[in-house]
């Protein structure tokens, strides 16, 4: 019998998890759906975005939500030349730590820009909202550079 | 700020998110399983063994003999009758599979083979499934045959005497009668 060609087949293993968000992250996502960004005030007065459930120093439960701005400053960034399937954009973009106005801690999100040299530490960026917001981090589609 | 007000206007509070993880593989059958699957596409269950008399027959074959490490170059057709070596009754569904729980998953040894493979049992009373029970393949219609073990829909009990435990995995291709 002749040797058939080696057989190949695509195979996908899926773990279809759902996660409970709890009152703090749930509030953050609920606000995103309404196109607001909220942080939470820690015991030392810092505003943490996204909000965290427990104080980083005292471990006390936190509940003092604070609205922050939709613009902010790039604290650091990494340019992605070759986006992968799971990435939020299908063309080159930047992952960035963005400190929103009114926040004391930067948060990770992506920046849409034409090229790497357009992005710099200290640059001003603003949130771009998705057409339909559903209560997920991708409700902020990306940040884009604010033209000075 | 008017946060409390805006919260009260909000009817739908987010309490959960979907966070699936998908692992995408490209499965390559390899040379020996490819030969096995090519025969299966023709409706034949085959094993492989070393080219020497009395060498153990592996179904499904992986290309080498685990006892000696030598390649299993010889192909042997085995029966689609088999013996239950062990089994379990499953009470949760298989995603994407129409079979309804509770169903039986069994380690079956085909007549002429010396190791078991895993398959489904059906058209049986789950409570009466037992080690040593005789079963036979129920095949899909021929025009649906592909390079796949599920060309066999399931195995169904047949009216033959039980195989004593010490003989399971040692039957010739003709079964107990042979």
Model confidence pLDDT, tens digit, residues B4-43: 445 445 458 999 999 999 999 999 998 899 999 999 999 9
Can you say whether the dihedral through the CA atoms of B152, B158, B160, B161 is positive or negative?
Answer: positive
ipTM of the complex: 0.78
Q: Do A15 and B10 touch (CB under 8 A)?
A: no
- The answer to whether the Cβ–Cβ distance between A30 and B12 falls below 8 Å is yes
Q: Is A59 on the interface with B (CB under 8 A)?
A: no
Q: Which one, of B101, B104, B108, B102, lies nearest residue B86 by Cα?
A: B108
Is B17's CB within 8 Å of A19's CB? yes
**CA B119: distance to chain centroid?**
3
Note the pLDDT tens digit of each residue in A30-58: 999 999 999 999 999 999 999 999 999 99
Q: Which pLDDT score, from 0 to 100, does residue A5 have?
A: 80
Interface check A69 vs B, CB under 8 A: no
Query: CA–CA separation, B60 vs B116, rounded Å?
Result: 8
Question: CB of A86 within 8 Å of any CB in chain B?
Answer: no
Model confidence at B171, pLDDT cuts 50, 70, 90, reads very high
Distance separating alpha carbons of residues B12 and B23, to the nearest angstrom:
32
Question: B-chain residues within 8 Å CB-CB of A67?
Answer: 1, 3
Nearest CA in chain A to B2: A67
Output the pLDDT for position B178. Answer: 63
Mean pLDDT along residues B84-107:
91
Looking at chain B, which runs of residues are DSSP E strands?
Answer: 16-18, 21-28, 46-49, 74-77, 81-90, 103-110, 117-121, 134-139, 152-157
Q: Residue B1 above 70 pLDDT?
A: no
Interval A81-107 mean pLDDT: 96
Percent of chain A with pLDDT over 90: 89
Phi-psi region of A59 (alpha: psi -120 to 50; beta: other; left: phi over 0): left
Q: Is pLDDT above 90 for A73?
A: yes
DSSP H or E segment with residue B3: helix B3-9
CB A93 within 8 Å of CB A142: yes
* Distances A27 to A87, A110, B105 between C-alpha atoms, Å: 25, 22, 46
**Given this model, what pLDDT does residue A147 score?**
83
Task: Please answer whether residues B87 and B107 qualify as being in contact, where contact means their C-beta atoms are separated by less than 8 angstroms.
Answer: yes
Q: What is the pLDDT of residue B20?
A: 92
Cβ–Cβ gap A17/B26 under 8 Å: no
What are the tens digits of pLDDT across the range A95-141? 999 999 999 999 999 999 999 999 999 999 999 999 999 999 999 99
Chain B interface, mutation test: which of A2, A3, A5, A9, most B Cβ atoms within 10 Å?
A9
State whether B27 and A8 contact (CB < 8 Å): yes
Sign (positive or negative) of CA dihedral B117, B120, B121, B127: positive
- DSSP count for chain A of H helices, then E strands: 1, 10
Tell me, yes or no, if B92 comes closer than 8 A to chain A by beta carbon: no
| Predicted pLDDT at B5 | 47
**Beta strand A107-112 pairing with A140-145:** parallel
For the stretch B117-159, pLDDT in tens is 999 999 999 999 999 999 999 999 999 999 999 999 999 999 9
What is the chain B residue with the closest CA to A9? B27
Of A1, A7, A21, the CB nearest to B15: A21
Contact A33 B14 (CB under 8 A): yes
CB contact under 8 A, B24 and A1: no
CB spacing of A29 vs B12 below 8 angstroms = no
pLDDT greater at residue B53 or residue A65: A65
Domain ranges of chain B: 31-167
| H or E element at residue A20 | strand A18-20
B102 pLDDT above the threshold of 80: yes
Query: Is B94 in the A-facing interface, judged by CB distances under 8 Å?
Result: no
* Burial zone of B156 (CB within 10 Å; 0-12 exposed, 13-18 middle, 19+ buried): middle
Q: Is the CB of residue A56 less than 8 Å from the CB of residue A70?
A: no
pTM check: above 0.80:
no
């Amino acid at each position: 019998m002749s040797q058939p060609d080696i057989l190949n087949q695509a195979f996908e293993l899926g773990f279809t998890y759902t996660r409970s968000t709890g009152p703090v992250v749930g509030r953050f996502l609920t606000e995103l759906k309404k196109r607001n960004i909220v942080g939470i005030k820690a015991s030392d007065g810092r505003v943490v975005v996204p909000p965290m459930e427990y104080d980083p120093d005292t471990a006390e439960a936190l509940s003092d939500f604070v609205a922050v701005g939709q613009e902010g400053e790039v604290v650091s960034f990494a340019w992605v030349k070759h986006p992968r399937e799971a990435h939020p954009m299908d063309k080159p973009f930047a992952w960035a730590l963005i400190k929103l106005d009114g926040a004391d801690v930067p948060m990770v999100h992506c920046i849409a820009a034409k090229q790497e040299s357009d992005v710099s530490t200290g640059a001003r960026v603003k949130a771009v909202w998705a057409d339909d917001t559903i209560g997920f981090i991708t409700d902020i589609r990306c940040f884009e550079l604010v033209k000075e | 700020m008017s946060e409390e007000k805006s919260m009260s206007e909000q009817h739908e509070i987010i309490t959960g998110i979907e966070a699936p993880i998908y692992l995408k593989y490209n499965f390559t059958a390899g040379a020996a399983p490819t030969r096995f699957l090519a025969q299966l596409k023709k409706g034949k269950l085959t094993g492989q063994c070393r080219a020497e008399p009395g060498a153990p027959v592996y179904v499904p074959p992986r290309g080498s003999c685990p006892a000696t490490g030598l390649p299993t170059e010889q192909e042997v057709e085995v029966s689609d009758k088999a013996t239950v070596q062990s089994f379990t009754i499953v009470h949760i569904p298989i995603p994407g599979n129409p079979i309804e729980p509770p169903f039986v998953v069994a380690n079956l040894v085909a007549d002429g083979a010396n190791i078991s493979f895993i398959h489904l049992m059906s058209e049986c009373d789950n409570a009466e499934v037992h080690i040593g029970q005789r079963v036979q393949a129920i095949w899909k219609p021929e025009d649906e045959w592909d390079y796949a073990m599920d060309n066999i829909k399931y195995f169904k009990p047949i009216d033959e005497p039980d195989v004593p435990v010490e003989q399971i995995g040692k039957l010739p291709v003709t079964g107990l009668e042979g």
